[in-house]
Amino acid sequence: MSAAWSYRAARSDGARCTGTVDASSHAEAVQSLVAQGLHPLAIAPVAADALPTQRAGRRDIAAFFQSLDALIGAGVPLDQALAASQEVVAGALRAAIPGIRERLRQGSSLSAALQATGQLSAPVLGALRAGERGGQLRESLHLVAERLEVEADLAGRIRQALAYPLVLLVAGVTSVAIIAIVVLPRFAALLGETGQALPPATRFLLQLSSFGQRFGLIVILLVGVAVITLIALIRDGPGRLQWHRLALEAPVVGRIRHGLATARLSGALAGMLRSGVPLLVALREAQDAAGDAAVAARMSRVRERVSGGEPLARAALAERALTPSALQLIAVGEQSGQLALMADRASHLAGIEAERGLRTLVALIEPALVIGLGGLVAFVAAALLQAVYALRPA
């Protein structure tokens, strides 16, 4: 996978320059600099701790790319477009724009300059790299701007849809916890003084209450440590690949992830094919735009099959790299000689399907939470009522 490399180099006139270059290895970084007419003096990977920890929001990033798309489409030079776009964003991304402009002046590509800020996700960077290498930067900016806006709108709708059930869940769980930990033990003490046996539901709830009082803090700490450890394991490397494989096989979430990855990958592939990039090169570059390590691994195997003479659609079907609807369009594109056009349509269709799946999932979450909370409240109420009835004389 490509990464940012910082360099010091000499131009043909003897002047020194510094900047960053996007490459998958030290040797590839050297070759890239030599191709630009530079003589490398020192090359090193950009340190992860040199990147800002605060990430810009989806809305800010979408507004940034929409501004770049409009300005560059109007013929404004990239440096001036960046300067003008600084006025429409705020926070971490706005503070990073001067550094982006400086890296561009030093000979860095736009994708490498943006990657050095640590503000953009892998799918966005992959789409930009694909556009740059295919000579379609303007088209890739437009595609990224549209996709980010769709994702930002979708994320906003998801948060809005989940707001009520989450508030209801927190309030309900808090109320139940207070009843189980404070109120119910007092009822148990009263019942103990009468010498009457507790109902089974009340005894079970009291055991849960006692366990929570004794070990609740320890359980919370253990869960927190487990979550932090899991995040560290799946952030990069084999753990990330394995996690993405598991998520891709999940019943509902897997289809949504597959659709989003297909939309990003197909869009990047279409842009490079339109610009005349050979298919094998386009496949190699497009897989970085998927944003899913499992889908990228499948596309790597697809590329190997295609290099052996197998048709793209058949190879993608064998590796389950794309969604079924996208595969049909890719097959039509190969047969008709319009692969770039069909890949673009596959990207659009996969995005629509993924968004529809997300909406369905969100629509199911609210009633599921309400039903689950209602069942919990009903159980606690039944336990309390049985405890009250147990106080009545036989």
Question: Which residues pair with residue 10 across a beta bridge?
Answer: 16, 39
In a domain, 151, yes or no: no
In whole angstroms, what is the distance from residue 213 CA to residue 207 CA? 10
Q: How sure is the predictor about 49, in pLDDT bands with cuts at 50, 70 and 90?
A: very low
Q: How sure is the predictor about 205, in pLDDT bands with cuts at 50, 70 and 90?
A: confident
In a domain, 236, yes or no: yes
Cβ distance 303 to 283 under 8 Å?
Answer: yes
Residue 360, CA distances (Å) to 35, 191, 393 in order = 49, 48, 52
pLDDT at residue 196, rounded to an integer = 66
Q: For the ranges 116-125, 283-292, 308-317, 372-381, which has the lowest average pLDDT?
A: 116-125
In whole angstroms, what is the distance from residue 96 CA to residue 55 CA? 11
7 phi/psi in degrees, rounded to 5: -145, 155
Do 214 and 354 fall into the same domain? yes
CATH number, domain at 217? 1.20.81.30
In a domain, 32, yes or no: yes
Other CB atoms within a 10 A radius of the CB of residue 166 amount to 14
Of 191, 186, 353, 204, the C-alpha closest to 266 is: 353
* Sequence-distant (≥ 6) Cβ neighbours of residue 230 within 8 angstroms: none
In whole angstroms, what is the distance from residue 286 CA to residue 280 CA? 10
In whole angstroms, what is the distance from residue 103 CA to residue 101 CA? 5
- Which long-range contacts (C-beta less than 8 Å, at least 24 apart) are formed by 194-201? 194/391, 196/390, 196/391, 197/390, 198/387, 198/390, 199/383, 199/386, 199/387, 199/390, 201/379, 201/382, 201/383, 201/386
In a domain, 139, yes or no: no
pLDDT at residue 19, rounded to an integer = 67
pLDDT at residue 54, rounded to an integer = 59
Percent of the chain with pLDDT over 70: 82
pLDDT at residue 175, rounded to an integer = 79
**Is the pTM above the cut of 0.85?**
no
Exposure letters 18-52 (e unless 16+ CB within 10 A, then b)? ebbbbbeeeeebbebbeeeebebeebeebeeeeee
Final residue before a domain boundary, out of 64, 90, 120 = 120
Q: Residue 394 pLDDT more than 60? A: no
DSSP 136: -
In a domain, 157, yes or no: no
Do 101 and 44 fall into the same domain? yes
Q: How sure is the predictor about 14, in pLDDT bands with cuts at 50, 70 and 90?
A: low
Do 177 and 248 fall into the same domain? yes
Do 297 and 362 fall into the same domain? yes
In whole angstroms, what is the distance from residue 68 CA to residue 85 CA? 7
Residue 257 tokens read as 């992830």
In a domain, 310, yes or no: yes
- Of residues 144 and 392, more confidently modeled: 144
Quick one: average pLDDT of 213-221?
84
Do 175 and 50 fall into the same domain? no
In whole angstroms, what is the distance from residue 189 CA to residue 31 CA? 79
Tell me the pLDDT tens digit for each residue of 284-330. 877 877 878 899 899 999 999 999 989 999 999 999 999 999 999 99
Scan for tokens 């979408």, then name that residue. Answer: 62
Tell me the pLDDT tens digit for each residue of 141-197. 877 777 777 667 766 766 776 677 778 778 877 877 777 777 777 776 776 666 667
Final residue before a domain boundary, out of 88, 120, 152 = 120
Structural domain count, the chain: 2
Q: Find the helix or strand (DSSP H, E) in which 239 lies.
A: helix 237-249
Final residue before a domain boundary, out of 55, 86, 120 = 120
Do 101 and 172 fall into the same domain? no
Range of the domain at 216: 164-394
Of 95, 138, 134, 99, the C-alpha closest to 115 is: 99
In a domain, 134, yes or no: no
Tell me the pLDDT tens digit for each residue of 83-101. 888 777 766 777 788 878 8
Q: Residue 29 pLDDT more than 90? A: no
Q: Residue 47 pLDDT more than 70? A: no
